[in-house]
Structure 1
Amino acid sequence: MTARTRWASPPARPGYRDRRPVRSPRSRLLAGVLAAAATASLLVGCEPGSADGSGEASTGGPGGCPSVRGRAQAAVVRAEQTDVPWNGPTTGPTATSGKTLVYVAQAMINPGVAGAAKGVREAARAIGWNVRVIDGGGTPAGIQAAMSEAVALRPSGIVIGGFDPGSTTRQVSRANAEGIPLIGWHAVATPGPSRRPELFTNVTTRVEDVADISAQWIIAHSDGRAGVVLITDASIPFAQHKSELIREELATCPGVRLLSYENIPIADASNRTRWEISTLLSRFRGRWTHSVAINDLYFADAAPAFRAAGRKGSGPPFNIGAGDGDPSAFQRIDSRQYQSATVPEPLTLQGWQIVDEFNRAFSGRPASGYVAPVHIATAENSRGATSWDPSGYQEAYRMIWGR
């Protein structure tokens, strides 16, 4: 709908007499009421999911996108299943010996990065290798220094833990030249081998799947009518890409309105999130029904602001983390304290996969090609767990390695 054009009365000409009938105050009032009603009807027709054209989500009546909502509900039901059999590799090279890995972390305060590092350490003990973790501290200078240190150590392999290899091109090129295999965890947008930058493989769920299912959870949970705040970290290309995909999927349901798209760097989350959330609560009030963030940690920092505003821990807004699924997120979900769901990475599993992929690289074998499926954890299906850890993978990898 285009904005209505306001027509002005024709200018008076010399000798011109206005012969239009003069209306009484009562008739002018009645005409104004009818015109306002007609305009309101047109505005509602142009803004699905809005009661007044302002973007406020309606809580009554049928959902705003029946066909999209139906697909979303079916996808959510599948993703909430917990009895998923192991569908990863069952064959591969036996364990090589005497290897040392360096895990370069974007920031160990990032629960996903730390969780994957924990999995690498655990798997390394199982296969008989050594691991060293170097924390980049979440800053470009810190990450570059950590990568320089890692390459200088001349390890058997280096893990790029949660940062863009493009920010350390000199160090990556040096590792490639020295024949040190690089494996990423959330280092580039897609799973599998990468040529530019040169990575043996990148371990991650498919960002498209994570983005879609988190947006579909909002569509299904809200019955197709929601006012959403989306939080991202634009300094991390992987996270920025994920948030753009979330926004695109939310837009498939006209009844779901994106109220605000907030850029809060993870390194600044503890300082900025509470203030930003307080500002958004004052701005949107009851229109804000759901939130989605590219990392669960934002909701830990947001909780004090929600609490100070008198919001109940069980929502609204109903909050979902589109990634990682660290123990504190599971605790908030289980206790219904300002987080309703998460799309967790199977972090420990991915740590074991990283070690298995290195073993394939050291043995001259190709990458496994395994990609873990997405999962949604809620209070109803997590049953007090503090992580998403599918069954069967440890036994499978130990059997492959002969350990």
Structure 2
Amino acid sequence: MRRLLVALECVCALSVAAAQGMPLVPAPGTTVAARDYLAAAERVVDAAAQPAAPWNGPRSGPRAQAGRRVAIVAEDLRNGGIIGVVDGVLEAAKVIGWNVRIFDSGGTPDLRLKMLANALASGPDGLIIVGSDARALMSGLQPFAERDIPIVGWHVAAQAGPVPGTPVAMNVATDPLEVARVTALAAIVQSGGQAQVVIFTDSNFRIARSKADEMAAVVRACSGCTLLEVRDVAISRSQDLMPRTTRALLARFGERWTYALAVNDIYFDYAAPVLTQAGIPTTAMAMLSAGDGSESAFLRIRTGSFQTGTVAEPLNLHGWQLVDEMNRLFAGAGVTGYVFPVHLVTANNVAADGGDRLIYDPANGYRDVYRRIWQRP
């Protein structure tokens, strides 16, 4: 029973749950039935799956600081989430009037610092990091800070907002812990409280470790669920590692393994073909991802091919937000600290908010809002 109470405390921490106006934590000394816990989880999951709400982000700020040169250092342009954010930055940069150069680290630790050095040598006015761990890059970021070159990033730390102890003024992201909770709760709801779970993460990144820990905590708190294993697989090597990892897990757990949770959709790109080759019915295994919302994930959800959910990032919107945060720094203003709400994509809503284009692109007019802030046509 204590585990159920802990789970409900996790559920209550979600903003999507708070939006329902329903208290989810019982009064001290009362008991909680498993069905009550499941009902509370269903409310959270349903709230996260609603269409995009009207824009609740910034509506004012400095006008466009046109003519700036900005360098983007991307962790790995093979990653669909990173590509989506970079595309958003390029789209917004064209509107605001900036020149952008892209440097790809290719998911290789040795190249990260080299690409930062190359970016610095290009003489940028600002730096945008996409997908790398800010603290792991400190030696490469310090020369930018010494030259007063502002830095913002996407998914560069475990929390959204300024990154303490680094020169990164703003980490743009949805709340990673909320993303993780919604993902795990969706699996619990879909399974009727009986999910048998393997979690995939990448310990090279703090944000990935935090997501995996949170998903594991939610699964452990479900009295009828089982956390079979948390498997550490480097995202940059997922193409090589996931096929044999998936086969090994099937050999170990067999039919007991019914749910796969991951910190990124890319793991499923290489796990799903192995499941098909092994003759696993698409109804026997469900995959849910705590992040990104790649094109391949949308396709799997639309076709019912194993994946049943992804807590999709508004990648293009995040690209525009990165440009706006950088523009504020260029103008001598502070960052907004804005965090966009989480959104769960399932078969029931996959066609909405950009889903027909295989992306999550909220239909809330964010482009027009930013154009007005920047005073650009």
Q: Considering the TM-score relative to the shorter chain, is it more than 0.5? A: yes
What CA distance in whole angstroms lies between the structure 2 residues aligned with 1:70 and 1:144? Answer: 48
> Counterparts of 1:241 and 1:193 in 2: how far apart (Å)?
17
Q: Is 1:344 paired with 2:317?
A: no
1:116-131 equivalences under 5 Å are 116-131=85-100
Task: Report whether the alignment pairs 1:107 with 2:76.
Answer: yes
Matches within 5 A, 1:323-334: 323-334=291-302
Q: Does 1:393 align with 2:366?
A: yes
Separation (CA, whole Å) in 2 of partners of 1:219 and 1:100: 47
Which protein has the larger Cα radius of gyration, Structure 1 or Structure 2? Answer: 1
Match of 2:342 among 374, 379, 384: 374
The C-alpha deviation readout for 1:135-162, integer Å capped at 9, x for no partner, is 0011111111111111222201111111
Given that 1:233 and 1:266 are in contact with CA atoms closer than 8 Å, whether structure 2 keeps it comes out as yes
- Structure 2 Cα separation of the partners of residues 343 and 316 of structure 1: 21
User: Equivalents in 2 of 1:131, 1:312: separation in Å?
Assistant: 46
Structure-1 separation of matches of 2:324 and 2:263: 27
% identical aligned pairs: 39
CA drift at 1:83 = 4.1
Q: Secondary structure at the match of 1:382?
A: coil
Q: Normalised by the size of structure 1, how large is the TM-score?
A: 0.82
How big is the shift at 1:180?
0.4
What's the CA shift string for 1:336-382, capped at 9, x where partnerless? 11211100110000000000001100111111121010000012101
Question: How far apart, CA to CA, are the structure 1 residues paired with 2:157 and 2:205?
Answer: 10
Is the 2:155–2:173 Cα contact (8 Å) retained in structure 1? yes
Aligned to 2:24: none
Sort the Cα spacing of 1:275 and 1:224 in 2 relative to 1 into closer, same or farther, 3 A.
same
Map of 1:53 onto structure 2: none
Distance 2:213 2:47 in 1: 24
Deviation at 1:107, TM superposition (A): 0.8
2:134 touches 2:168 (CA, 8 Å); kept in 1? no
CA contact (8 A) 1:154 1:180 kept: no
Q: Supply the distance in 1 between the matched residues of 2:99 and 2:118 (Cα, whole angstroms).
A: 17
Instruction: Select 1:141's aligned residue among 110, 128, 131.
Output: 110
274, 280, 283: which is aligned to 2:243?
274
- In structure 2, the partner of 1:14 is none
Q: How far off its partner does 1:127 sit? A: 0.9
How much does 1:194 deviate? Answer: 2.4
Q: What's the counterpart of residue 51 of structure 1?
A: none
Q: Distance in 2 between matches of 1:394 and 1:342?
A: 24
Aligned 8 A contact 1:318 1:340 in 2: yes
**Structure 1: gaps (5+ residues):** 1-44, 49-63
Name the residue aligned to 1:365. Answer: 333
Q: Quote the Cα distance in structure 1 between the aligned partners of 2:90 and 2:194.
A: 44
Per-residue displacement from partner, 1:171-221 (whole Å, max 9, x unpaired)? Answer: 211110101001010101111122311211110011111011001101111
Equivalent position SS for 1:368 = coil
- Give deviations 1:287-307, integer Å, cap 9, x for gaps: 111110110011110111101
Letter of the aligned partner of 1:161 in structure 2?
Answer: V
Shift of residue 260 of structure 1?
1.4
Counterpart code for 2:144: A
Q: Report the CA distance between 1:167 and its aligned residue.
A: 2.1
Task: Confirm or deny that 1:261 pairs with 2:230.
Answer: yes
In 1, the alpha carbon distance for the partners of 2:139 and 2:229 equals 37
Quick one: distance in 1 between partners of 2:309 and 2:237?
A: 23
Contact 2:177–2:210 under 8 Å retained in 1:
no
Instruction: Tell me the amino acid that sits aligned with residue 212 of structure 2.
Output: S
Tell me the matched-pair count.
343
**Take 1:319 and 1:251, find their aligned partners in 2: how far apart are those partners?**
18
Q: Secondary structure of 1:112's partner?
A: helix
Between 163-172 and 299-308, report the one with greater CA deviation: 163-172
The structure 1 residue matched to 2:161, chosen from 192, 201, 207, is 192
Deviation of 1:309 (Å):
1.2
Q: C-alpha separation between the residues in 1 aligned to 2:109 and 2:317?
A: 28
Contact 2:262 2:290 in 1 (8 A): yes
Match of 1:68 in 2: 37
Mapped to 2, the partners of 1:104 and 1:199 lie a distance apart of 13
Is residue 55 of structure 2 the alignment partner of residue 86 of structure 1? Answer: yes
1:216: which partner in 2? 185
State the match for 2:323 in structure 1.
355
